[in-house]
A and B are shown apart, each in its own frame.
Chain A
Amino acid sequence: MPVSNATAWGQLPDGRPLHRWTLRNARGEQVDISDLGATLLSWQTPDRFGRLGDVVLGHADAQQYIASNAYMGAVVGRWANRIRGGRFRLDGIDYKVDRNDGGNHLHGGHDGFHLQRWEVEPEADGLVLRLVSPEGDGGFPGEVHVQLRVRLEDDGTLDLRYEATSDAPTPLSLTAHPYFNLNDRRPDIRDHVIRIDADEFLAIDAGAIPVGRQHVSGTAFDFREPAPIGSRLHWPDPQLRLVGGFDHCYLPRGPAGGVVRTVAVVTEPSSGRRLTIDTDRPGLQFYSGQKLTGQAGRQGDTYGPFAGFALEAQAFPDQVNGPEADGAILRPGNVWRQHTRYRVDTP
């Protein structure tokens, strides 16, 4: 059986029990997922010597996940990333949503999807996770039904297919938020070599809200040729200084919406592991993990800055307040879909 039965895994503050499930593939890789926030707790993959190690960061127990503000491994929603001032206008109505990030909205607000208990149904080759987000959740309109189908394939791909419907128009953008570190023996991702297939990224203001598109040419953001993350952090670039590293949304090449294409590849020289991300989303947030300081690790350890990095496939930050706002709205009668694939292998 590739999917094991549920194992008890702590409880919510209201006493409801939480669980974790394990997916396995033919190569002995193993993925652990919790119903708390549809969180990817652990992903064990072989390094170039065939030794299994965890490629994602994690906390020690459910209580730490609930107390943390790192969104570690969780699926975030209803709105992944930020909304300026926590305000937007939709069909002539002004909405105010949770402001939980210095006056801006971030990742669904105070009780985002990452803190909800999802319903989990094991399938032959994966899991189906479901969540109902009630009308007014975090200040958003409409009751939203979300379904996420997770499969671990034999080539080392973690395949994520999302679907959502709503009974009223609402902004919607979901993303998985794992922090990767492909070298489980070194809690620092600055030697990782990253390629991002994007000619443009969104420049931000001090509140990390996009202010406009910028071409990557001649900047520290140009990863069209692979480059180590760490040395780029020392390039004199005001966009890097604003947030102490990378926390920016790229606009990967290729058609967005419906067409899955490779958007980023990360390699780690010591372990020999490679991470490839394919998605149909228009945006790819790259966060270099500079603010992970003090986050609790799995073994009673504490993470430092740059312990992991995140690559989040999503809509554009604050898209609801920009010229492409329509593209970020889910309307009744429509089904919102997203397809993202993370693959870890050793070339």
Chain B
Amino acid sequence: MTPHRIALLFNANKVYDRQVIAGIGHYLNSTRVEWDLFMEEDFRSRMRDIQQFRGDGVIADFDDPEAPDALRDLHIPVVAVGGSYHDPASYPIGIPYIATDNARLVRLAYDHLIEQGLARFAFYGIPPHPGSRWAQEREHAFRAIVDDEAVEAVVYDGASTSAGGWGEAVEELVAWLAALPKPIGIIAVTDARARQLLQACVIGEFAVPEQIAIVGIDNDPMAQLLTRIPLTSVIQGAEEMGRTAAHLLHQMLRGVDCSGTRVLVPPVGINVQVSSRYQPVRSPHVMRASHYIRQYGCLGIKTEQVADYVGVSRTVLEEHFKRELKQTVHQVILKHKLDTACDLIANSDTPLADIALRCGFTSLQYMYTVFRREYDCTPRQYLDLHRKPMAT
């Protein structure tokens, strides 16, 4: 039997699309279904060319506003993948639709901030655009939750990101953050937007998470890489969406009618990092110092530099630390270095010598000494216990 020719129409430049495609791949591997997959060599879809496609089925990204029209007259099975809508009339008619459940994504982020003890919330979205209706759906979900629970909340869409207007956009974002009551928890519509928030917090000198706690959506490793403060992020069920889409197309190719099927996939997790670990701290000195340590703690800083940054004497700062955290400034810096080292040991494949350097230990030997003293084990033993096998 000749394998079916299937077109995958995605713009696989984002982690989400790649995970959807990975899910399709998993399904094919697990079932030994042979599909001859058609994708553009740069993994970007070109909707207008699809009319020429002589194949058996299509799985397409329906967040692309051109998709419904481009695929309308194609008389082969089509499975749509996209964002969920609060209004059922927004879904395409007669096509099975696999959605990331936008309302559940926002709900998970919101519940997380509530659990952290926050009482004020904001949403940082993007300006409305036909290609990102999912962002408006997330914003709508946020408004629905805060209306329903009658809590204090604001929404800000900011400006579209463009190189030219970037300076101004950042200024406006910093001004928006400055005007917000604090402490506050902000849900960013994507990790890319969350990264901009973190950047603005650094510029505006707002302590994250003490003054502003941030949750993104996507769990994008790129955003993690580009932020100094590790970002909490909601993980979409994108692989499961891919598996589901492949299953439905598989059924349709066997003649099963799936035209009315709509599957909403909830988030599969939340990666909790520092950006949302809100703990009420009363002393503004401690808050400012913690913020500084989180940014520069791995660059070999000493108590003196922290005190300089805060603008008080070492003695005063030590007193505040003792009262609030029951620790010295040095201990907090060391803990930050150790936490960062442990995280790198467990979650990356970085060699120990590099980790020692990156975390501000003067030598690998010194990191060994500190590990033995604090954890009663060597970094090597810690690695053997905790390092996760890398995804392939």
Contacts and interface: CB of A to CB of B under 8 A. Distances in A.
A269 B261 contact: no
B134 interface: no
Interface string A21-57: 0000000000000000000000000011100000000
A37 to B, nearest CB: 34
Contacts of A185: 111
A235 B237 contact: no
B272 A272 contact: yes
Contacts of B268: 193, 226-228, 267, 269
A224 interface: yes
Contact of A218 (B30, B112, B237, B270): B30
Interface string B257-268: 010011111111
Contacts of A226: 268
Nearest to A190: B266
A227 B240 contact: yes
B269 A267 contact: yes
Nearest to A233: B263
A217 B247 CA distance: 10
A86 B250 CA distance: 39
Contact of A236 (B30, B111, B234, B251): B251
Contacts of B263: 231, 234-235
Contact of B247 (A49, A218, A267): A218
A305 interface: no
Given A224-B30, A227-B243, A228-B237, A236 B270 contact: no
Contact of B270 (A217, A225, A269): A269
Given A218-B250, A225-B239, A193 B269 contact: yes
Nearest to B252: A236
B33 interface: yes
B272 A48 contact: yes
B240 A228 contact: yes
Contacts of A228: 237, 240, 265-266, 268
B243 A269 contact: no
A241 to B, nearest CB: 13
Contact of A270 (B33, B112, B243, B256): B112
B227 to A, nearest CB: 21
A293 B263 CA distance: 23
Interface in A214-230: 217-218, 220, 222, 224-228, 230
B292 interface: no
A227 B265 CA distance: 9
B244 interface: yes
Interface residues of B, number: 36
Interface in B234-286: 234-235, 237, 239-240, 243-244, 247-248, 250-251, 256, 258, 261-270, 272
Contacts of A272: 270, 272
A288 to B, nearest CB: 14
Given A228-B240, A235-B247, A270 B111 contact: yes
Most chain B CB atoms below 10 A, which of A185, A193, A231: A231
Most chain A CB atoms below 10 A, which of B33, B266, B267: B266
A267 B250 CA distance: 28
Nearest to B277: A49
Interface residues on A, range: 20 to 34
A191 B266 CA distance: 6
A218 B33 contact: yes
Contacts of B26: 225
A218 B108 contact: no
Nearest to B270: A269
Interface string A226-251: 11101100111000000000000000
B377 to A, nearest CB: 18
A217 B28 CA distance: 10
A48 B271 CA distance: 11
A231 B237 contact: yes
A185 B114 CA distance: 12
Interface in A264-312: 267, 269-270, 272
B115 interface: yes
Contacts of B270: 269-270, 272
A48 B30 CA distance: 33
B266 A217 contact: no
B228 interface: no
A234 B261 contact: yes
B31 interface: yes
B104 interface: yes
Contacts of A235: 244, 247-248, 263
Nearest to A47: B115
A218 B104 contact: no
Nearest to B268: A193
Contacts of B33: 218
Interface in B115-144: 115-116
A230 B264 CA distance: 8
B321 interface: no
A269 B244 contact: no
B3 to A, nearest CB: 15
A299 B316 CA distance: 51
Contacts of A222: 30
Nearest to B237: A228
Interface of B: 26-27, 30-33, 104, 108, 111-112, 115-116, 234-235, 237, 239-240, 243-244, 247-248, 250-251, 256, 258, 261-270, 272
Interface of A: 47-49, 185, 190-191, 193, 217-218, 220, 222, 224-228, 230-231, 234-236, 267, 269-270, 272
22 contacts: A47-B115, A49-B116, A193-B268, A217-B31, A217-B32, A218-B27, A218-B31, A220-B247, A226-B268, A227-B237, A228-B240, A228-B266, A230-B266, A231-B264, A235-B247, A236-B251, A236-B258, A267-B269, A269-B234, A269-B267, A270-B270, A272-B272
Given A185-B111, A269-B234, 16 more contacts: A193-B269, A224-B30, A225-B239, A227-B240, A227-B243, A227-B268, A228-B240, A228-B268, A230-B266, A231-B244, A231-B264, A235-B244, A236-B251, A269-B235, A270-B111, A270-B115
**When A and B form their complex, which 9 residue pairs have the shortest distance between CB atoms, in order from nearest?**
A218-B31, A231-B265, A234-B263, A191-B266, A269-B269, A227-B240, A217-B31, A228-B266, A193-B268
